Amino acid sequence: MTVTPDTDSTPARGKRPKQGEPVIDRALSLLAVFSDRRRALTLSELARHAGMPAPTALRLIARLVAWGALERLDDGRYVVGVRLWEVASLSPRGHGVREIALPYLEDLFEVTRHHVLLAVRDNEEAVLIERLSSKDATEVAYRVGGRAPLRSTAVGLVLLAGADQQFQEATLRKPPEHEPGVEHMPEGQLRRTLSDVRRTGIAMIRRSAPSKTVSVASPIFDAQGSVVAALSIVVPDGSTPPNVLAPAVRATARAVSRNLGYLAEVSPDVRTHSEG
Amino acid sequence: MTVTPDTDSTPARGKRPKQGEPVIDRALSLLAVFSDRRRALTLSELARHAGMPAPTALRLIARLVAWGALERLDDGRYVVGVRLWEVASLSPRGHGVREIALPYLEDLFEVTRHHVLLAVRDNEEAVLIERLSSKDATEVAYRVGGRAPLRSTAVGLVLLAGADQQFQEATLRKPPEHEPGVEHMPEGQLRRTLSDVRRTGIAMIRRSAPSKTVSVASPIFDAQGSVVAALSIVVPDGSTPPNVLAPAVRATARAVSRNLGYLAEVSPDVRTHSEG
DNA sequence: AATATCATTCCAACCAATGAAAGATGTCTG
DNA sequence: CAGACATCTTTCATTGGTTGGAATGATATT
């Protein structure tokens, strides 16, 4: 069991909820209340979920609104503002890679007409940076801005395989979260898979829910040779075979990597083995 | 904000730091330092531009980093974090419209292979929400997350034409900012143009810088019939004539509007009193 | 009309925020 | 290789921004 350093001996429940917490943390906890299912919230909802009295929440929110981090709707509810979105668009790992990758993703999308995903790793999850989908594409589990587990998605495996050794070990030691629709992988197999991903530059995952799909992902490298993002394509199971998709996905990923300043090393492995 | 009265006896030697400013405002002013040209900043740069002592900046930044609003690079510089980007992706006017519009934008892009833009209005400017471009497209002035003037861009004109009367008047009264490469429009002509935009659902602008282009834009309506965004296509001057592009742009914009719940008003000649 | 819920204003106690000063670290320069 | 310079970080006594219960106003529900 993890132990948080408790300076206070008594729980002190009820009387002092979150007193003493830095103001910024409180303000940020207000932002954190927003989620996919909670995009427009009232003052009391925000106060309740952030765990602070309404007057306090109101005061903080007023500052956030004044700056543009939040916006107030006609009905009095609050939503995340364009100004915040604007600043966030300067995030190198957010819009940064996206900006460079988008034209290439489009080419891949145009050719295949299937979901094309771009993701980066944030701590122990993958964050979906971009998703191109046609209007009539198969259902897909994740939305842009959402998070996906590392161990049970194709982009996740790529990002995990590309993470530093220390992080990988820590992740492998943790008990896996069970993702519905994805077959669980025991540790041994997972290790082998990650090794394969590093060698081949391709990860593959089959899902049965929310719909039967196959995902094929490939890593994107920066100039330092680190894996900064993962690109994948999601197709209905039984349509285009994965081994046909793999070259296209890998080629696209490499094109993006090159644009990020990555000088593809001529790997003896790839050169001699005609399989590619 | 306004300058605080100097009636106090302690002038503090002209150097009047932002003493007394709410903490949140200070934290937000740190975020505001980031811009297109300033995506990675050192502590002292942040402190200087935000107008606060280094220790104060450091303390605030530490909280922002802890939450994920900022991230620290290996070289010690700070950048906008993925977490902030994640929350910002819940912005209805940011990623919200984008999410719905993207598939349609893609269709338009795929057919034309020219820049396709999506923008919303934030106060007196247009904010670029999305831009689809091919790798070898003509140079375009604005990037995603950037701002563009209302009076001298096609999307801007559409957004201005769709704004409430009061705002329009206030904007028309203000002295126009001169945008390089765009022919200035006197007030009378601008009024006529806005009226035309409302009637036809199309705005058009010719630019000579940074490259010779023609932009054609059309409004996107929400369920309440308000103009929530503008969609445009930017083509090299002399290629496809604007009157050929207009129907495609308008059709795409209407498709997005319909998806937002907008019930396109039936034109008078078709309207019958079938329902009462 | 009564009740319940939410939003807003007020204010005195209080504690988190402040920033000068100094130390720690790294980087040029002569 | 000192010495000058710049940046980053920690410390700490002071203080002014922050706090949240209570009261009031605004709406919605029964």
Better-scored residue on pLDDT, B61 or A4? B61
Nucleotide nearest to A19 in CA–C1' terms: D19
**pLDDT computed for residue A19 by the predictor:** 58
**pLDDT computed for residue A184 by the predictor:** 86
CA distance B271 to B276: 12
Q: What are phi and psi of A275, to 5 degrees?
A: -60, -40
**pLDDT computed for residue A176 by the predictor:** 81
Q: Residue A146: pLDDT above 60?
A: yes
Q: Which residues of B touch A109 (CB under 8 A)?
A: 106
CA B151-B129-A231 angle, 5° bins? 150
Interval A200-247: pLDDT, tens: 999 999 998 788 999 999 999 998 899 999 999 999 998 889 999 999
- Residue type for position B219: P
- With CB atoms and an 8 Å threshold, state whether B106 touches A106: yes
**In terms of CA atoms, which chain B residue is nearest residue A82?**
B94
What SS3 class is residue A35? strand
Q: Residue A7: pLDDT above 50?
A: no
| Averaged confidence pLDDT in chain B | 87
- Residue type for position B84: L
Better-scored residue on pLDDT, B268 or B243? B243
Distance in Å from C3's C1' to A63's CA comes to 33
**pLDDT computed for residue B48 by the predictor:** 93
Better-scored residue on pLDDT, B126 or A2? B126
Q: Which residues of A touch B133 (CB under 8 A)?
A: 102-103
Other CB atoms within 10 Å distance of the CB of residue B211: 14
Distance of CA B203 to the CA centre of its chain: 17
- Contact residues for strand D with beta carbon within 7 Å: A 16-19, 21, 23, 26, 52-53, 55-56, 59-60; B 19-24, 42-44, 54-55, 58, 76
| Averaged confidence pLDDT in chain A | 87
CA distance B71 to A127: 15
Q: What is the mean pLDDT of residues A56-72?
A: 95
Interval B63-93: pLDDT, tens: 999 999 999 998 999 999 999 999 999 999 9
Distance in Å from D24's C1' to A55's CA comes to 14
Q: What is the mean pLDDT of residues B121-149?
A: 90
Q: Residue B3: pLDDT above 80?
A: no
CA distance B215 to A24: 43
Distance in Å from D11's C1' to B54's CA comes to 14
Contacts of residue A123, Cβ cutoff 8 Å, sequence gap at least 6:
none
Q: Which of B46, B136, B195 is nearest to A107 (CA)?
A: B136
- With CB atoms and an 8 Å threshold, state whether B88 touches A93: no
CA distance A217 to A200: 11
Q: Which residues of A touch B49 (CB under 8 A)?
A: none
CA distance B227 to B219: 6
What SS3 class is residue B105? helix
- Residue type for position A130: E
Q: Residue B268: pLDDT above 70?
A: no
**pLDDT computed for residue A4 by the predictor:** 32
CA distance B112 to A227: 34
**pLDDT computed for residue B14 by the predictor:** 30
Q: Which of B89, B136, B139, B131 is nearest to B106 (CA)?
A: B131
Q: What are the CA-CA distances from residue A265 to residues A12, A221, A262, B173 (Å)?
A: 59, 11, 9, 60
Q: Residue A197: pLDDT above 50?
A: yes
- With CB atoms and an 8 Å threshold, state whether A60 touches B127: no
Q: Which of A10, A142, A95 is nearest to B80 (CA)?
A: A95
**Is there a contact between A20 and B55 (Cβ–Cβ < 8 Å)?**
no
- With CB atoms and an 8 Å threshold, state whether B83 touches A122: yes
Name beta bridge partners: B216: B204, B233
Would you put residue B113 in left (φ > 0), alpha (ψ -120 to 50) or beta?
left
Residue A84 to chain B, least CA–CA distance (Å)? 6
Q: Residue A264: pLDDT above 80?
A: no
How sure is the predictor about A58, in pLDDT bands with cuts at 50, 70 and 90?
A: very high
**Is there a contact between A103 and B133 (Cβ–Cβ < 8 Å)?**
yes
Can you list the alpha helix ranges (DSSP code H) found in chain A?
23-33, 43-50, 54-67, 82-88, 97-112, 154-161, 165-173, 187-200, 242-259, 268-272
How sure is the predictor about B56, in pLDDT bands with cuts at 50, 70 and 90?
A: very high
| Strand arrangement, sheet containing B203-207 | B147-149, B125-132, B115-122, B227-236, B213-221, B203-207
Better-scored residue on pLDDT, B169 or A175? B169
**Is there a contact between A116 and A139 (Cβ–Cβ < 8 Å)?**
no
Q: What is the mean pLDDT of residues A176-196?
A: 89
Q: Residue A14: pLDDT above 50?
A: no
**pLDDT computed for residue A275 by the predictor:** 39
Q: What is the mean pLDDT of residues B188-199?
A: 96
Q: Residue A163: pLDDT above 80?
A: yes
Tell whether omega for the bond before A210 is within 30 degrees of 0, i.e. cis.
yes
Interval A89-122: pLDDT, tens: 999 999 989 999 999 999 999 999 999 999 999 9
**Is there a contact between B212 and B238 (Cβ–Cβ < 8 Å)?**
yes
**pLDDT computed for residue A164 by the predictor:** 93
Distance in Å from C11's C1' to A47's CA comes to 21
**In terms of CA atoms, which chain A residue is nearest residue B81?**
A91
Q: Residue A268: pLDDT above 70?
A: no
Percent of chain A clearing pLDDT 90 (strictly above): 73
**In terms of CA atoms, which chain B residue is nearest residue A101?**
B135
Q: Which nucleotides of D are covered by protein (CB under 7 A)?
A: 6-11, 16-22
**Is there a contact between B127 and B95 (Cβ–Cβ < 8 Å)?**
no
| Strand arrangement, sheet containing A213-221 | A147-149, A125-132, A115-122, A227-236, A213-221, A203-207
